[in-house]
Amino acid sequence: MDRSIFLSLALASLLVGVVSARDWNILNQLKALGSSSSSGQNAIVSSGLSTNLKRYCESWRFNVEVHNIRNFDVVPQECVSHVQNYMTSSQYGDDVERTVDEVILHFGSMCCSKSKCDGMDAWIFDIDDTLLSTIPYHKSNGFFGGEKLNSTKFEDWIRKRKAPSVPHMVKLYHEIRERGIKIFLISSRKEYLRYATVDNLIQAGYYGWSNLILRYN
């Protein structure tokens, strides 16, 4: 499927599942540089610390989204607040909206218009942070990828069926469904969470998928 959906899918990796970054910390590196300098140089390093850190964290986040950084356990500790600020900002919603718009525009250029689809095409969606947002969970627990996900706590939260839809993804979901494209949902959620997952998806505005594939217990 189109690469334009990758942004939405990649955003999930910032929160769910997160090279352990504790092995190298740019904040400590910059502080070490400052401690070895004169007092005048310390002031220069200190004044540039937040700017350099912000740029580093933004670059780290971007490289996660384009899959240049993979297989990490946690968000670098110095970047947790940066990730939190982004995921809870209007910019996050704007980024998803632009992605959705590009996917819909792509549909307009392919043979599979609403009047021409033959029902032989399929689209695969992940669930967490692609269709359903886990941001409320991270807001409540203060994690935002800064430590490994606590499966027990997360599953308890899933059972509450309170996850909202990711902004603009309901629009994309039904744009695809209405074209006769079969939708398959896959998730690392366990099979015993099926009822809670289905209820939450429907409450959030998703329905009419062909299959929901979860992990065996």
Q: Torsions phi, psi of 61, nearest 5? A: -60, -45
Structural domain for 70, as ranges: 3-215
Domain count within the chain: 1
What does the alpha-carbon distance between residue 63 and residue 18 come to, in Å, rounded to a whole number? 13
Look up the CATH number of the domain holding residue 72. 3.40.50.1000
Q: What is the pLDDT of residues 50-91, one digit of tens each?
A: 668 888 888 988 898 888 988 888 888 888 888 889 889 999
Q: What is the pLDDT of residues 143-184, one digit of tens each?
A: 787 778 889 999 999 999 999 999 999 999 999 998 888 999
172 Cβ neighbours under 8 A, 6+ residues apart: 5, 100, 103, 104
